[in-house]
Amino acid sequence: AIRIPKYIPVVRDRMLAIIFFAFITMFFWALFEQAPGSLTLFARDYTQRVLEGTTGTIFKIADALITIVPLAIISWVLILLAKKTFKKYAFSNIILGLSFLIIWGIAIWKVNNDFNSSAYKIAYLDNNGNTQTVKDVSFEKFNVGDVVPILDKESVEIFDMKAKAGDDYVKDYVLYNKEGESQGELYEATILNTLHEPKKGAGVSIVKATAVFKNGQGDEIAKVVKLPKDKLDAYKEGSALYLKINHDVKLDRNSKSTTTGTIESLESAVEIGATWFNILNSLFIIALAPLFSKWWESKYNPSANGKYAVGMALLGLGMLVVALGASG
């Protein structure tokens, strides 16, 4: 039987309060501590992090202020502190000063890169020899007409025409949906051979096939594609299949790729790093701490339960915003 109701009211209420706060604490920290990891993944996969034109410029200015202003305030406080303590703690102040010089160098480097970054429209050739374009953001300086090294990460997959086509249609070896948007290149290919590739650390192998097809110019091209485990019998040497190929083209920052593209145009832009959103937590703590401090000192100071309620309500509001963003 539950023993809590048997205690006198004062003891019972205290026990209920402890249980309540224990659960609130568990749920709060469970959500709060996982937020940096989960929100970084959310920002990486489900947000448009490239801002161009005016919006990009506004973000650059706001981010520069968020970076420089707090750092300047802290630096000024440390300078005042050093004036009073340098004679007694000279070595510590020197180390602290050098550390902040390094931090200032990193901050200036970051802000400078953001203000120098641009969105480049890059023209490249697909498997058909047709010119396609893609945008990529970089702080490296290029001019219109420059030939630059690019990384073209092709994703090759088997396409089931009967199961997936629907209202899609094919024109000039390109698959389009009913809205006329390109879904990737599509080719009818023939399997040359199959191979078993060990999967590292798993103790199993992945079955892949080398398939060849002819592009729109009549050139024969070979691609390696992963075969589905449940349909291995359907894909033997000489079997026909459809390959769908998509391109993920980016500038090669290391300049090692032999594949090249041409800069067609450029525009001021910035790509927000997925981890950038983690700084908002510290920013809001610093920015809102004086407000809540004044609130707690006023005659409207809420009870402990009220403070927990405010914290949980704000946490729930934040998670609601994330949920709404993810659903879209």
pLDDT of residue 16: 87
More confidently predicted of 164 and 230:
230
pLDDT of residue 35: 67
Q: pLDDT tier at 64 (50, 70, 90 boundaries)?
A: very high
Q: What is the mean pLDDT of residues 262-286?
A: 86
H or E element, residue 245: strand 240-251
Tokens 């390696």: give the residue. 224
- Classify 265 in phi/psi space as left (phi over 0), alpha (psi -120 to 50) or beta: beta
Neighbours of 186 (CB within 10 A): 22
The residue ranges of every structural domain in the chain are 23-116+276-327, 119-271
Q: What is the mean pLDDT of residues 184-197?
A: 90
Tokens 């469970």: give the residue. 30
Pairing of strands 131-138, 169-171: unpaired
Report the distance separating Cα 122 and Cα 150, nearest Å.
Answer: 9
Residue range 319-328, pLDDT digits in tens: 788 778 767 6
More confidently predicted of 5 and 322:
5
In DSSP terms, 262 is beta-bridged to 123, 147
CA angle, residues 163, 132, 52, in degrees to nearest 5 = 105
Report the distance separating Cα 148 and Cα 131, nearest Å.
Answer: 15
H or E element, residue 141: none
- Judge whether 56 and 269 are in contact, CB under 8 Å: yes
**pTM of full prediction above 0.85:** no
Report the distance separating Cα 265 and Cα 253, nearest Å.
Answer: 18
Residue range 166-176, pLDDT digits in tens: 678 888 888 88
Q: pLDDT tier at 129 (50, 70, 90 boundaries)?
A: confident
The answer, yes or no, to whether residue 1 has pLDDT greater than 60, is no
pLDDT of residue 179: 84
H or E element, residue 4: none
List of long-range contacts for 16-22, beta carbons under 8 Å, 24+ apart: 21/304, 21/308
Helical H segments across 117-160, by residue range: none
- Judge whether 149 and 255 are in contact, CB under 8 Å: yes
- Number of DSSP helices (H) and strands (E) in the chain, helices first: 6, 11
Q: Which backbone phi and psi does 235 adopt, to 5 degrees?
A: -120, 90
Report the distance separating Cα 151 and Cα 134, nearest Å.
Answer: 12
The answer, yes or no, to whether residue 58 has pLDDT greater than 80, is yes
Residue range 28-50, pLDDT digits in tens: 777 777 766 777 887 787 778 88
The answer, yes or no, to whether residue 102 has pLDDT greater than 80, is yes
Q: Each residue of 79-115: b (16+ CB within 10 Å) or e?
A: eeebeeeeeeeeeebeeeeeebeeeeeebeeebeebe
Nearest to 213 by CA among 232, 193, 186: 186
Report the distance separating Cα 220 and Cα 213, nearest Å.
Answer: 6
- Judge whether 223 and 245 are in contact, CB under 8 Å: yes
pLDDT of residue 106: 96
